[in-house]
Structure 1
Amino acid sequence: MFWFKKSKQTFGMQYREQTSMKISWGHWFAFFNILWAILIGSRYAFIIDWPETFFGKLYFFISLLGHFSFVGFALYLLVVFPLSFIIKNERTFRGVSVIIATISTTLLLVDTEVFVRFNFHLSSVVWNLLVNPENGELSRDWQIFFVPMPLMLLVQMLFSRWAWYKLRSLERQKWFRGVGVLFTCLFVATHLIYAWADAYIYRPITMQKSNFPLSYPMTARSFLEKHGFLDIEEYNSTLEQEGRPEAPAIIYPKHPLTFATSNTEKANLLIITVSGLRADALQNMPNLHQFAQNATQFTHHYSSGNTNNTGLTGLFYGLNANYTDSLLNHKTPSVLIEKLKQDHYQFGLFSATNFKDTLFEQALFNGMKLPTSKRIQPSNESAVKNWQDWYLKRDETKPWFSYLNLDLSDLMHAQKIDNLADEQALYQTQLAKLDEQLAKIFTQLNESQQLDNTAVVITAEHGYVFQASEQDVINNFSDEQVQVPMIVAWRELASGKEDKLSSHVDILPALMYHLFWVQNPDSDYSQGHNLFDFTQSRNWVLAANYRWFAIITANGTQYHIDRKGNYQKFDRTYEKQASDRPPLGLFLDVFNQSGSFIEK
């Protein structure tokens, strides 16, 4: 009995001693892999838009060390540390730890390349894209990044063995504790600095929000507001004016544009947008319907977004709406507006809402004096009357560009009608009034005989959803919200209906080519295709906002996917559907296109 108790006591001491050694070894093994992760993670410095300020650059290195030291230690704490108690054999324990570490570092290496190509980090959807057998060529490309895996495994095994046999010596190293304290301080500093930068919109730091995988920097807006350090109304106003602070810098256009010379007279351009004009509204607008009969009507057309700013981004920039915040941040001009200025066009800009949408003053017409109405409540009537006055006084010897920004959406939301029938009746009333105003424009153009040399584009930033507040439609991409009319009257186009799938991003390359004879390929300055080229067809178009990509296919099915790889499927009636098998090839096309103008 005494022998049994003594043996049990000896076994307990051996178990505690071996467990203590495995835990101590685990600390050094985790430190070794943290250094590996920092070394591989430094590649992101060559991928991201490098900050221009010293403080922004310093933050990158602080976050690099702080983030990967935390992730490495968290992996040890959640996986390796429990295994030191579960697996009794030290060789088996070290072998399992080596395998886990090798897989983790390999995935980090793959993530850096994913970020290069798609501006996304690894997720379940992205992983399925990489291993999808339907994309054999892509799968072969990614296999290259698993080639170093055996070498990494060998290095991990060598360090594992060396650290185990040198453990007594390593335990006497006094500097190791200091390194742990340093990494902890850097991790805390990463989040505190980001919280400050987010509250005061310091973009050289906030633009680094998504630099690293598994990175979720801390924000403290509510805390700062509660203690009087942040005016949340002023903060939200700044975001609305300048875009979200994490938006990346972009290169637009990718290359300087060149134009062919032409002996023909320069064409005039009139663009009319009506916020809230639904695709089915034309049947209740006789004047606009008649105008469309003598023009080209694109009946399967979608806006680039579900808000005014995102719709204007596609229309005037030819870019997907996920670039809206970047355009606001950097006050990026439109290549169309720059070309019009270069050719000395007369500008006539008029708005029923006093150009309240931030993209106008902040980027699209930045540096230009925008006319505003003296009326307390601007209206479509006053905007059209101002356009008529300008049109009569214009210099007839020079080409002109006019943009008329009309509105239905704000007029409807201002009424706050709870009854569906009353809201629909009011919408029809507003359509009739709008149709009367458009008739005045058509009459004036006809009387001046300008239509032969004038391209007229009539569309909407977005549609209108009945019984939905402005807050309700933030993430709504139903046909009622994003399918809009697109009517183009231009001498080179035959009148009639065209039912090909089209998007707002397609109008800019059409105008740049047919009106200004641009020589560059569409991809240099747009993500769309020439709308007037009827030989081209699309399988999908993209509507977006700051969070979601809404992929709309030709049959009306939609796939929504966010930057974290979450996705949803909707049928043509906008009812959510179960989807176990995402369309990986379609997602790959979207990912490749979505980051094509991001500066790297």
Structure 2
Amino acid sequence: MILAETPRRKLVTQLVNWGHWFALLNIVIAVTIAAIYILNSPAPGSPIGTFYLFTNWISHIGFLTFFGFVILILPLCYLVPNAKAVKILSSVLAAFALALLAFDALLYNKYGVHLSLNSAQLIRNETQTAIAQFGWQQWGFLLLLFTVWLSFQLIVANALWQRISRLQKRKLGLPISIFFVSCFVISHALHVWADANLYQPIVQQDNMFPLSYPATAKTLMARYSLLDIEDYQQRKALQFNQTIKGIAYPAEPVYCSVNTSNKVLLLSVIEGEMPSAIAGLSKFENHYQLQTSVDSGITTILYGLPELYHGALQNYSPLLLQLPNSMGLQVSLYLKDTNNRRLSAYQKDWQNFKQALFDSSSNLSIGFVQAQQISELLSSEVLAEYRVIVSNLDDQSALNNPLFTNVTINRSMGSLEDIAPTALNLLGCAAKSQAYSTGHSLTQKSNLNYIVSTQGNKVLLLTDKQRIEIMNNGNVRVFDLKTGDEVFSQVDPNILSQGIKHLSRFSAKRANKPF
């Protein structure tokens, strides 16, 4: 007796075949969207790292998309007896999932974090701010954009359904499956090797893609004497890659106006004991010194960037000096010993620096002075005329290093990287500090509740309670901010990722033309 295939079984077979081709097309789209993660992350810097990036990109995004097909769309093929309904529901799910991936990619691009419970507070704050600024045009545009995207999915779903018999004859399923499985196996095998050998071009990519948990085998390798776990921990604690092949300074063009009547005075003690109090100035206690030397502190104040970039800044003029000068403001700099030719146009000797200050002829005066010279400069007339900020660079042993100022501080914490944005803001420049500095203006309120910088061979992240030291390979140590004692507590990886992303904003594959 010949058993004919029932119409229902035939429909299910066609829907499953259609679903696999629909999933493949959306894998291609998802992989394309995921290129945003790659374009906004530092390059691996080695052929092996680049090869791993390619295999991980294809396999991980392909796996996520196919997994979504298996749990969301494949059951519809068996449970819903109507082909049209399956195509519509599948298109809606695919459109929504890919829109979510695009949102996560944009979130990673801006903040260095992925969608998760840990990033929920950040997303809620940003969403509230964005929605408050939305009008009906913006909502209409978003609705139109999603409608177009959903229409594309519906058109594709219907086109594949009409051509399913023709596509099945091509016998492409096996080669495509072998390609994705090979990429998956190769990427995880490379990561096991890289993790055991602390190979930075691969390890640094661990948090690039959403829901990424690359394979490691340290415990297994140690059990079979293939890895000395103690030696591994020692090498991990010591390894840090500070190589900057190029710098984008500023990260984007800076446009702003300035107020020619505003006057700012920045003083930094580079020798001698800082006074415990300065008449006419208030003390900002929560200011931190993260630099390892006086020279490093000087560079940080002038450029607003951490030690990580100092070696690449030699051929660039500080925007703190160049921008006001280009707008006709008088800028004077007192720095006794320097080999930076980019500063010579602004330098004055001690007498001329004092005279410009006492005459109020200088709009921006920056002096790196001895402690006893502070009182010589801060007369009542100068304090009345200038917005003053005094910092201390001489004591490198103290993490907490208060500022003295007659400016209203609106930040809970600060560092030397904040001084350049603060000075430009006081001169009337409203440009975003993210374009030229890793710091923020101390006069402006911010939702950020941490400071991130680099110190020697490590990244430092300071919260209101902790000092977190991060090696470039991901090794983390946590200390109590007040006592300095090491504590063993969990650290939010999203904050660490956001901090690293914030620091790496000025890195570039090739150095820009000197500014």
Q: TM-score range by the shorter chain?
A: 0.5 to 0.7
- Cα offset, 1:537, TM superposition: 5.0
CA distance in 2, matches of 1:237, 1:506: 32
Q: C-alpha distance in 1, partners of 2:81/2:460?
A: 48
> Of residues 51, 57, 61 in structure 2, which corresponds to 1:68?
61
Matches within 5 A, 1:474-553: 484=400, 486=402, 488=404, 501=411, 503-506=413-416, 509=419, 526-528=437-439, 536-538=443-445, 542-544=449-451
Could you give the per-residue CA deviations for residues 327-347 of structure 1, whole angstroms, max 9, x where no partner exists? 66x885788xx99xx967399
Aligned match of 1:32 in 25, 28, 34? 25
Q: Is the Cα–Cα contact under 8 Å of residues 246 and 312 in structure 2 kept in the other structure?
A: no
Alignment match, 1:150: 147
Q: Could you tell me whether the CA contact under 8 Å between 1:110 and 1:145 is conserved in 2?
A: no
Per-residue deviation, 1:486: 0.9
| Aligned-residue offset at 1:53 | 2.6
Query: 1:478-515: per-residue Cα shift (whole Å, max 9, x none)?
Result: xxxx9x45155xxxx67xx987645332466369979x
Kindly indicate whether residue 165 of structure 2 is the aligned counterpart of residue 172 of structure 1: no
- Deviation track 1:505-564 (CA, whole Å, cap 9, x = no partner) reads 2466369979xx9x9986565333566xxxx35455532579998876xxx9xxxxxxxx
Counterpart among 91, 105, 109 of residue 112 in structure 1: 105
In the alignment, what sits opposite 1:457? 392
Alignment partner for residue 203 of structure 2, among 185, 202, 206? Answer: 206
CA contact (8 A) 1:63 1:187 kept: yes
1:80-127 deviation digits (Å, cap 9, x = unpaired): 122222222222122211111121222333333333333333454565
Number of aligned positions between the proteins? 395
Shift of 1:74: 0.4
Letter in 2 for 1:170: L
What SS class does the counterpart of residue 214 from structure 1 fall into? Answer: coil
Determine the C-alpha separation between the residues in 2 that align with 1:593 and 1:76. Answer: 35
Partner of 1:298, secondary structure, is strand
Q: Is the 8 A contact 1:292 1:487 kept in 2?
A: no
1:90 aligns with 2:83: yes
Question: Partners of 1:132 and 1:236 in 2: how far apart?
Answer: 43
Amino acid at match of 1:152: W
Identity %: 21
What's the TM-score, normalizing by structure 2? Answer: 0.58
Q: Distance in 2 between matches of 1:162 and 1:456?
A: 68
8 Å Cα contact 2:111-2:501 kept in structure 1: yes
- Residues in 2 aligned to 1:130 and 1:267: alpha-carbon distance in whole angstroms: 36
Cα offset for 1:77? 1.1
Consecutive unaligned residues of structure 2, counting only runs of 5 or more, are 255-265, 319-333, 340-348, 351-369, 379-389, 453-457, 466-497, 510-515
Larger Rg: 1
> What root-mean-square deviation, in Å, do the aligned CA atoms of Structure 1 and Structure 2 show?
5.6
TM-score, normalisation: structure 1: 0.51
Check the 8 A contact 1:318/1:527 in 2, yes or no: no
Residues 118 and 591, structure 1, Cα contact 8 Å, conserved in 2: no
Matches of 2:190 and 2:159, distance apart in 1: 38
> Which ranges of structure 1 fall in alignment gaps of 5 or more residues?
1-8, 258-265, 273-286, 348-396, 399-443, 464-481, 557-588
**Counterparts of 2:237 and 2:298, CA distance in 1:** 20
Change in 2 beyond 3 A, CA 1:248/1:49: farther
Contact 1:224 1:230 in 2 (8 A): yes
**Equivalent runs, 1:270-419 vs 2, <5 Å:** 270=270, 291-292=276-277, 296=281, 298-303=283-288, 317=300, 345=337
Of residues 211, 217, 221, the one that matches 1:220 is: 217
Change (3 A) 1:100 1:334: same
CA distance in 1, matches of 2:422, 2:157: 62
State the distance in 1 between where 2:296 and 2:88 align.
54
> Is 2:413–2:451's contact at 8 Å kept on the other side of the alignment?
no
Query: Secondary structure of the residue that 2:62 maps to in structure 1?
Result: helix
Whole-angstrom distance in 1 between the partners of 2:250 and 2:236: 25
**Secondary structure at 1:291 match in 2:** coil
* 8 Å CA contact retained: 1:298, 1:487: yes
Alignment partner, residue 344 of structure 2: none
Aligned 8 A contact 1:501 1:539 in 2? yes
Match of 1:132 in 2: 128
Contact 1:317–1:508, Cα closer than 8 Å, also in 2: no
